[in-house]
Amino acid sequence: MDKRAIGVFDSGLGGLTAVRRLHALMPQENIIYFGDTARVPYGVKSVATIEHFTQQIADFLLQQQVKVLIIACNTMAAVASQVVKEKAGAIPVLDVIDAGARAAVVESRSRAIGVIGTPTTVNSNAYARRMHGLDSGVRVYSQACPLFVPLVEEGWLEHEVTRLTAQEYLKPVLAENVDTLVLGCTHYPLLRPIIQNVMGKGVKLIDSGAECARDISVLLNYFEINRSREVEDKTEEYYTTASVLGFKEIAEQWLGEEVAVQHVDLDKELEND
């Protein structure tokens, strides 16, 4: 029994889709979530900038004595997972790309797999590299969908504009006859109905955040660092770099429960150590 929290972080609110799965699988675990809402989106930023921001967040969460770190943001996982692992030392680090890549390779029968993500994630080729590490014979077709993040943040989950945008982005993916498509961005599971509709029922969609949550539950059990279901003093902390109110409103809507949110200024916080 290990009471320390699971540290989850993302460039903004999107990583809450992974937290939702953690709640379903491991309701007893304490969670510290960090969303860098003041600096989102990361998906269009340079690798050096993303690495710098990611290190700051990892430092902050490691200071809170978390027992495991989850990189819920595909963009950070694509270009900065190594720097997090170096900082974390003995603390295990899991990320959505490892989890999503593994699930896709296991799931695909035709071995033709599609990946959609932010421009940085797609340009990094991280999904394809990790899939080829597992099965050198898979064919991976990647497509950047930069407009999906702002459409989700606008709340246009079922809007006609979103449907047309999805049709446009997914046209070349459809032409590749993939049987499995990785939703390689935190925001995309919220567009699942539209994406499934465009791709057709025969294509299996992989939610990397959900796969990562499953991996965490296996890891905690394996190392026996899970928290007993009997204990009741569960705590959750949510940190944002921007407005507490804005974060709280969306987080409560997505998670279906009340959350306590605190503002943090990373530059000041880390300077004081």
Q: Which residues are catalytic?
A: 73, 185
Binder of ligand DGL out of 43, 100, 114, 189 (CB under 6 A): 43
Query: Coil, strand, or helix at residue 225?
Result: coil
At a CB cut-off of 8 Å and minimum separation 6, what does 79 contact?
47, 50, 51, 120, 124, 126
In angstroms, give the least distance from the CB of 218 to ligand DGL: 22
Binder of ligand DGL out of 124, 180, 186, 241 (CB under 6 A): 186
Tokens of 44: 């269009």
Q: Is 124 a residue that touches ligand DGL (CB under 6 A)?
A: no
Q: How far apart are CA 128 and CA 124, in angstroms?
A: 9
Q: Is 142 a residue that touches ligand DGL (CB under 6 A)?
A: no
Please identify, using beta-carbon distances, which residue of 140 and 227 lies nearer to ligand DGL: 140
Q: In this structure, which amino acid lies at residue 67?
A: K
Please identify, using beta-carbon distances, which residue of 10 and 227 lies nearer to ligand DGL: 10
Q: Is 121 a residue that touches ligand DGL (CB under 6 A)?
A: yes
Q: Which of 45, 50, 61, 44 is nearest to 9 (CA)?
A: 61
Q: Is 241 a residue that touches ligand DGL (CB under 6 A)?
A: no
Binder of ligand DGL out of 54, 118, 165, 226 (CB under 6 A): 118
DSSP of 167-191, one letter per residue? HHHHHHHHHTT-SEEEEESTTGGGG
Please identify, using beta-carbon distances, which residue of 166 and 226 lies nearer to ligand DGL: 166
Q: Is 181 a residue that touches ligand DGL (CB under 6 A)?
A: no
Q: Which of 63, 121, 79, 20 is nearest to 264 (CA)?
A: 63
Q: Which of 10, 9, 83 is nearest to 52 (CA)?
A: 83
In angstroms, give the least distance from the CB of 134 to ligand DGL: 21
Q: Is 100 a residue that touches ligand DGL (CB under 6 A)?
A: no
- The residue ranges that bind ligand DGL (CB under 6 A) are 10-12, 14, 40-43, 73-75, 117-118, 121, 149, 185-187
